[in-house]
A and B are shown apart, each in its own frame.
Chain A
Amino acid sequence: MSAAHPPAEHPHTSTGLDNAKLAMWAFLGSECLFFGSFISTYLLYRNVTGDGPTSADLYDIPYTSISSFVLLMSSLTMVLALSSVQNGDRRAMRIWLMATAFLGLTFIGGQVFEFTTFVEEGLTLSTSAFGSSFFVLTGFHGAHVTIGILMLLGLTVMSSFGRLGPDDSRPVEVVGLYWHFVDIVWIVIFTVIYLIPSG
């Protein structure tokens, strides 16, 4: 659980937990089932390659490791952004938010490059059940990262409207929860899809 000193200006709740944070936790619980179902589909189909290329033909583990590292580092910058806003340093917060968004964007760029390479090597959405489940699972993860980037930009806009500060850090914290979750899901996807050999 995340740290628990609820900001003073928010109304007390029955449990003392902040409403928005509780809502985000509930939503993330739901997301576990979402990704869980896609991962199950992938596990069912990872060897159903038909005439198309197999995962051993395609995966470039060093390359994906680097882009995974980039994504995980974005969790660090996200934490620094939250820490900055709680300390009242809004300029540092904006810098860390933009850094987080930039790292996320780098990851997305890496994914676009990876997808393009795979298509050139003969794996498309329609090639095989393996292709469908790979692209849709990792694509939905990429979509989650993209939405996260939009939310980070939203926070930056909010801050330029004069919102967000030591007394009003909750939105940063909630977006941070989402961002860390998306990163954690990637650890699972990276392990299950790339590191466990097929066959």
Chain B
Amino acid sequence: MATAVAPQQGGLFARPTAKTGWWSWMTTVDHKKIGILYGVTAFFFFIVGGVEALLIRAQLATPNGEVLSPAVYNQLFTMHGLTMIFFVVIPMGTALMNFLLPLMIGARDVAFPRLNAFSYWVFLSAGLFMYSAFLLGGAPDGGWFGYAPLSLDPVTDGMTYYSLGLQIAGIASLAGAINFIVTIINMRAPGMTLMRMPVFVWMTLITSFLLLFAVPVIGVALWELMFDRLFGANFFDPAAGADPLLWQHLFWLFGHPEVYIMILPAMGIVSEVLPAFSRKPLFGYPAIVFSGAAIAFMGWGVWAHHMFAAGLGPVANSAFALSTMFIAVPTGVKIFNWIGTIWGGSVRLTTPFLFSAGFVSMFIIGGLSGVTHSIVPHDAQQTDTYYVVGHLHYVLFGGSIFGLFSGIYYWWPKVFGRLLSEKIGKFHFLLMLVGFNLTFMPFHILGLLGMPRRQYYFPANRGFEVWNLLASIGAFTIAVSILVFLYNVAVSRKKGEAAGADPWDARTLEWMTTSPPPEHNFDAIPVVRHRDDFWYRKYITTPEGESARVFAGGAASDEEQHSSEAASDEPPSSSAEGASDREPNTAGAAPPESSSEERPHAGASAEEQGHGIHLPSPSYFPLLTAAGMPVIGYGFIYSPILLAAGAVMLLVGAFGWVLEPPAEEA
């Protein structure tokens, strides 16, 4: 344990100082660097999960395929699902949240910078831990849903890795969720009321609450699985009187909110991109926000539609069928809002816009095929066929991944300071759209023809050949489109056009600062007066209702515009904006809303300008603490010595964390 003799400064608990190089990345607590780490890692896992998918499609390209053995096939489809869900879609969303959240609400960093670094390192170690199973006797092979009692099968340690690896990943999600919740609730710039926040921030908040409540449920299921597998407990063994439905209930009680955890961030991205390229405010902002919250709330009441084939009885089946149909309503509200946003706008067909449009259209298909599952007899026909696989890829790939790529293209210039090529980007989009539909549309037909999922081969002469071959061609088309994206990145790194602060003429605060943003984000914390505040700093509304550009440096006219607007279309206290409006605001001695109206628009208080900004110092301890987790995981499987070593790392890390000299910490 940490010997308690360290002096206040320096010595045992000295904080690292490197600003560049390896150590700066290992010890960083800057939300922007952590965001980039998340993004790069998630993209790496995206490639790995994609290669797994290609192997699966190679195996299934022809009848009686012989590329993979059954055992390897099981591991690959399981790891493909786990990777894409837990190590790609969720962390890619987290990457964007990390980078953008403080910028969008006008904060210097997240509420707990070291906890943020901890989340990243725990996430990374969970991924490495899971994948190390390939080298140590076999990866998880019981599907991403890991149905017990099937997953109790002790042939390999694979499902033990599953139970421990997901547990570790859950800790990362939980820490991240708490951090984002506190940041959004507590760290907003003056005037940034809840109903002025960008929709992406709203969706981050909602997603974080979903994670907060969903992760412990699967955590319990995973602990129970681990106790069954390692210590002979009887949670799931029917021979000992256990109920085989327990796992399904716990898993899907987590699993269905999880679906919304993956889609809501993408919905947030689309709600930022479409207004920016339609040059219109988001249509029906409150409706989008509240339908997001409604989806999250109702998402807790639909889990048993994953279990219609499990025999819950007609009453439960009918109830969950109804709730499943109802949850399509708020989703539909959002679709109409997005269409309303584009309607009548001056649309620019840029790559981010195209990906967002791809999201909306593909998600409609996936959403509709989802509603078909709510019809119980229909679901009984579809269960465990490729129809379900088709549906879930339309929402997760056609939905989440298209949305995430939209976000990547949209914010790339903000993150790296250079634009991606529009020409290559559009080619990427086109190839991906074609490849995607070529792959997953046939899945619906295969499913209706009765091809079961999770089978390592399909027999000849059942009418499956053509559709499977098309799907495999589509999968490799998607792979080519990803290579095109990588080429785009390489070109941009080498000779990409410099982006400037605001390349898209966008609406939200992150475009106010330089690209890439300085370590302290904003020289002066902005004072927010509007939803889409940055837009209203650039444009005034003429009496005819047209937008007109404010001249650069036109602070005076800007001021005029603000006061006139305040007089005309909203009461000065703007109480209609939301409940928290009157509460005291953030950032030091920030004045309340009313007096901020009288200040120059940047809201610069003298001590905040330039050098007086305190940023949290880097730290070793998040990394050390996080590294203890997989060691404990190996300890559970292999030896109590490792268990003890991991526990010591955790304790030393935690004590060091608490005792290191305080830099500015939340």
A15 to B651 Cα, complex, angstroms:
33
Q: Which of B625-658 contact A (CB under 8 A)?
A: 651, 654-655, 658
Q: Are A126 and B658 in contact (CB under 8 A)?
A: no
Q: For B182, B214, B666, which residue has the most chain A Cβ atoms within 10 angstroms? A: B182
Whether the Cβ atoms of A41 and B666 lie closer than 8 Å is no
Listed stretches B146-154, B543-551, B559-567, B582-590; interface member: B582-590
Q: Does B4 contact A23, Cβ atoms closer than 8 Å?
A: no
Which residues from B are CB-within-8-Å of A14? 185-188, 192, 580, 583-586
Chain A proximity mask over B495-537: 1 for CB below 8 Å, otherwise 0: 0000000000000000000000000000000000000000000
**Chain A, residue nearest B186 (CB):** A13
A128 to B240, Cβ gap below 8 A?
Answer: yes
Please tell me if B90 contacts chain A, counting CB pairs below 8 Å.
no
Q: Is the CB of B233 within 8 A of A132?
A: yes
A85 at the interface (CB under 8 A from B): no
Q: Is A197 an interface residue (CB 8 A)?
A: no
Q: What 1/0 mask marks residues of chain B from 575 to 595 whose CB sits below 8 Å from any chain A CB?
A: 000001001111111100000
7 other A-B residue contacts (CB within 8 Å) besides A14-B187, A22-B185, A157-B659 = A14-B586, A26-B182, A30-B178, A30-B215, A50-B241, A125-B227, A129-B235
A19 touches B242 (CB 8 A): no
Q: What distance in Å separates the Cβ of B64 from its nearest Cβ neighbour in chain A?
A: 42
Q: Does A7 contact B (CB under 8 A)?
A: no
Check B339 for interface membership: any CB of A closer than 8 A: no
Q: Knowing A41-B246, A48-B242 touch, does A34 contact B586 (C-beta < 8 A)?
A: no
Whose C-beta in chain A lies nearest to the C-beta of B13? Answer: A161
* CB neighbours of A13 from chain B (8 A): 186-187, 586
Q: Are A12 and B586 in contact (CB under 8 A)?
A: yes
Chain B residues with a Cβ closer than 8 Å to the other chain, count: 55
- Chain A, Cβ-Cβ closest to B589: A12
B216 interfacial by beta-carbon distance below 8 Å: yes
A 84-132 contacts with B by CB, 8 A: 125-129, 131-132
Taking a contact as CB atoms closer than 8 A, the residue among B223, B241, B584, B666 that contacts A128 in the complex is: B241
Indicate which residue in B246, B584, B588 contacts A44 across the interface (CB closer than 8 Å): B246
B219 interface residue (CB < 8 Å to A): yes
Residue in contact with B186 in the complex, picked from A19, A30, A150, A161, CB distance below 8 Å: A19
Q: Is the beta-carbon distance between B220 and A34 smaller than 8 angstroms?
A: yes
Q: Would you mind naming 12 contact pairs between A and B with Cβ atoms under 8 Å apart?
A: A11-B586, A13-B186, A15-B185, A15-B583, A19-B187, A27-B178, A33-B213, A33-B216, A34-B217, A48-B242, A128-B234, A171-B658
6 closest A-B pairs by beta carbon, nearest first, are A34-B216, A37-B220, A132-B233, A13-B186, A126-B232, A33-B216
Chain A nearest CB, measured from B249 CB (Å): 9
A12 and B584: CB pair below 8 A? yes
- Could you mark each residue 27-42 of chain A with 1 if its beta carbon is under 8 Å from any beta carbon of chain B, else 0? 1011101100110010
A41 contacts B179, C-beta separation under 8 Å: no
**B258-287, CB < 8 A from A:** none
Closest chain B CB from A15 CB (angstroms)? 6
In B8-25, the 8 Å CB interface with A consists of 8
Bound together, the chains give a CA A59 to CA B380 distance in angstroms of 45
Report the separation of the CA atoms of residues A158 and B6 in the bound assembly, to the nearest whole angstrom. 12
Min CB distance, A182 to chain B, in Å? 15
Residues in chain B near residue A135, CB distance under 8 A:
233
Cross-chain contact B659 with A161 (CB below 8 angstroms): yes
Closest B residue to A137 by CB, please name it. B220
Q: Considering the complex, give the chain A residue whose CB is closest to the CB of B666.
A: A19
Contact A154/B240 with A14-B583, A126-B234 known, Cβ cut-off 8 Å? no
Residues of A contacting B233 with CB < 8 Å? 125-126, 131-132, 135-136
Q: Are A37 and B182 neighbours in the complex by a CB distance under 8 Å?
A: no
Contact between B178 and A50, CB atoms less than 8 A apart: no
Provide the residues of chain A in CB contact with B224, threshold 8 Å.
41, 132, 136
A157 in contact with B585 (CB, 8 Å): no
B654: A residues at CB distance < 8 A:
154
* From B186, B215, B231, contact of A15 by CB (8 A): B186
Q: Let me know if B164 is at the binding interface, CB within 8 A.
A: no
A160 to B6, CA, bound (A): 11
Which residues in B have their C-beta under 8 angstroms from that of A31? 216
- Which of A16, A20, A23, A171 is in CB contact (< 8 Å) with B583? A16
Cα of A118 to Cα of B641 in the assembled complex, Å = 28
> Are the C-beta atoms of A125 and B213 separated by less than 8 Å?
no
A74 within 8 A of B: no
Q: Is B469's beta carbon under 8 Å from chain A?
A: no
A75 at the binding interface (Cβ < 8 Å): no
With contact pairs A15-B580, A48-B241, A128-B241 given, residues A30 and B212 touching in the complex (Cβ less than 8 Å)? yes
Interface assignment of B77: CB less than 8 Å from any CB of chain A: no
